[in-house]
Amino acid sequence: MANTSYPASYYAASANPAPSRPALQDDVETDVCVIGAGYTGLSSALFLLEHGFKVTIVEAAKVGFGASGRNGGQIVNSYSRDIDVIERSVGPQQARLLGNMAFEGGRIIRERVAKYQIQCDLKDGGVFAALTAKQMGHLESQKRLWERFGHTQLELLDQRRIREVVACEEYVGGMLDMSGGHIHPLNLALGEAAAVESLGGVIYEQSPAVRIERGASPVVHTPQGKVRAKFIIVAGNAYLGNLVPELAAKSMPCGTQVIATEPLGEELAHRLLPQDYCVEDCNYLLDYYRLTGDKRLIFGGGVVYGARDPANIEAIIRPKMLKAFPQLKDVKIDYAWTGNFLLTLSRLPQVGRLGDNVYYSQGCSGHGVTYTHLAGKVLAEALRGQAERFDAFADLPHYPFPGGQLLRTPFAAMGAWYYGLRDKLGF
Ligand SMILES: Cc1cc2nc3c(=O)[nH]c(=O)nc-3n(C[C@H](O)[C@H](O)[C@H](O)COP(=O)(O)OP(=O)(O)OC[C@H]3O[C@@H](n4cnc5c(N)ncnc54)[C@H](O)[C@@H]3O)c2cc1C
């Protein structure tokens, strides 16, 4: 049987108290059945409940068991693909809709935290750090691009300024986004689940959807029960497996790893990141890090294509951390864990509808903390009959990975190796 406990992460060890929810053992009826209690499912459920829908969530493991309870906690706005690339592919009108939404996810998180009083160590400020002059040039053009869509809060940092926000000698400059920031991701998910329940939503844990019976009133089957609904939202992302074969064909689960140091103490933590911003570098295979509420450094990076769990996570990630911060050579690593995100070939999310009443959003390929919160809003709008923003995502073209399910992993790894080499050589 699959392991349905939280991984031994810093987040699980510092989670706010939460109830243990029962498995579904009945036949129930609802307006919307959501499959998966990560941010996509929880955000969809919250927006729907706020508009009077009856919502039931079935979760295979526990709330926040997937990427939403394991991620780096970085509130990074926009998508994993630049808007000008999107514009070239879909044209100016659709690009404008997507560009206008690019910073909305961060706002939704802040609204949720304030409205439902969620304790998740929310901090403002995220930095994109450039390792080369070429990357700095890219940040400059990205700033101009985002400003075209009305996002004017970004500040370029020269070499002197970036040293003031992060004590890493490698960076030549960067860009600060005060609408970025960071959170304790599992506590955000747990807080959102409590908000769902406060509005009358029902969450069943340990209740994997094993079959979807499609039709005018579709039914989600779990091992011991079923949910009949008017609509279904599929929000299982990289943990969904083959429940919906149409979705599995154009996406690939990938693993990524995170470590958390022992508490560094106020003084050392302040020296590393004086303003407590989170940082991600501009490499294709990027490193990202931030401080926790109790002043540990959370450091993530690297990708395992095909989502195998690597044997020794610390051996993979610690050298990356020491490259950025040699001053941490004597610091102990208290936690190391892995999690899966879902990659698409275009690195843009897959959003759509199967038949009339089965909706899905998945595969944002990395920057998912903000996107998934936006996705919940956009899916809820579509269920309420306002599909303009939903269609802007649903009309994005998606292609199967070359080589099909068998060869997609080596092909994607080869592609990443190539881009990793470009990062190393600085071109
Ligand atoms: C280690 C790691 C670090 C990351 N760091 C960042 C970061 O710092 N910033 C950022 O923006 N993004 C980051 N991401 C990406 C981000 O976390 C994800 O994009 C986002 O959390 C996805 O949310 P989700 O709700 O779509 O999926 P998930 O959070 O994976 O949730 C899916 C849920 O569905 C459940 N499920 C699956 N199948 C079924 C089924 N058949 N029946 C019932 N339930 C099912 C799963 O158990 C799971 O709980 C990171 C990802 C990982 C793995």
DSSP letters along 279-294, please?
Answer: EEESSSS-EEEEE-TT
**40: CA distance to ligand 1 center in Å?**
8
Calculate how far, in angstroms, residue 355's C-alpha sits from the geometric centre of ligand 1.
25
For the CA of 280, the nearest atom of ligand 1: 8
Residue-level pLDDT at 427: 45
Residue among 33, 237, 378 whose CB has most ligand 1 atoms within 8 A, to mutate: 237
- Say if residues 20 and 6 touch (Cβ distance below 8 Å): no
CATH class of 10-410: alpha beta
| DSSP β-ladder status, 350-354 and 287-291 | unpaired
- In this structure, is the dihedral angle defined by the CA atoms of residues 115, 238, 288 and 368, taken in order, positive or negative? negative
Strand-pair partners of 222: 225
pLDDT at position 417 is: 52
| Residue 144 CA, ligand 1 centroid: distance in Å | 31
Residuewise pLDDT in 10s, the chain (427 residues) = 577 899 999 999 999 999 999 999 999 999 999 999 999 999 999 999 999 999 999 999 999 999 999 999 999 999 888 888 888 888 999 999 999 999 999 999 999 999 999 999 999 999 999 999 999 999 999 999 999 999 999 999 999 999 999 999 999 999 999 999 999 999 999 999 999 999 999 999 999 999 999 999 999 999 999 999 999 999 999 999 999 998 988 888 988 999 999 999 999 999 999 999 999 999 988 999 999 999 999 999 877 666 566 778 999 999 999 999 999 999 999 999 999 999 998 889 999 999 999 999 999 888 899 999 999 999 999 999 999 999 999 999 888 876 666 555 555 555 555 455 555 555 4
Backbone dihedral angles phi then psi of residue 229, each to the nearest 5 degrees: -140, 165
**3, 43, 57, 68: which to mutate for ligand 1, most atoms within 8 A of CB?**
68
pTM: 0.95
**Of residues 344, 348, 400, 382, the one with CA closest to residue 89:** 348
| DSSP annotation of 331 | P
Burial of residue 90 (CB within 10 Å: 0-12, 13-18, 19+) is: middle
Q: List the domain boundaries for the chain.
A: 10-410
Q: How far away, in angstroms, is 320 Cα from ligand 1 center? A: 24
**Residue 29 Cα, ligand 1 centroid: separation in angstroms?**
26
Give the mutation target among 239, 371, 377 for probing the ligand 1 site: most ligand atoms within 8 A of CB.
239
For 98-136, give one letter per residue: b (16+ CB within 10 A) or e.
bbebbbbbbebbbebbeeeebebbbbbbbbbbbbbeebb
* Residue 175 structure tokens: 């860009």
Q: What is the DSSP string of 345-389?
A: TTSS-EEEEETTTEEEEE---S-HHHHHHHHHHHHHHHHTT--HH
Check the CA dihedral 219-4-71-85 and report its sign.
negative
Q: Give me the count of residues in the chain.
A: 427
Pocket, ligand 1, Cβ cutoff 6 A: 35-41, 58-61, 65-68, 70-74, 76, 208-209, 235-240, 243, 256, 258, 288, 300, 339-341, 364, 367-370, 372
The answer to whether 18 touches 65, Cβ cutoff 8 Å, is: no
Q: Are 279 and 289 in contact (CB under 8 A)?
A: yes
Task: Determine the distance separating the centroid of ligand 1 and the alpha carbon of 258, expressed in angstroms.
Answer: 14
Nearest to 10 by CA among 279, 206, 205, 294: 294
Instruction: Specify the 3-state DSSP secondary structure of 149.
Output: coil
Name the closest-CA residue to atom 50, ligand 1: 71
The residue whose C-alpha atom lies closest to atom 9 belonging to ligand 1 is 74
Other CB atoms within 10 A of residue 350 CB = 22
106 C-alpha vs ligand 1 centroid, how far in Å? 17
427 Cα to the center of ligand 1, angstroms: 32
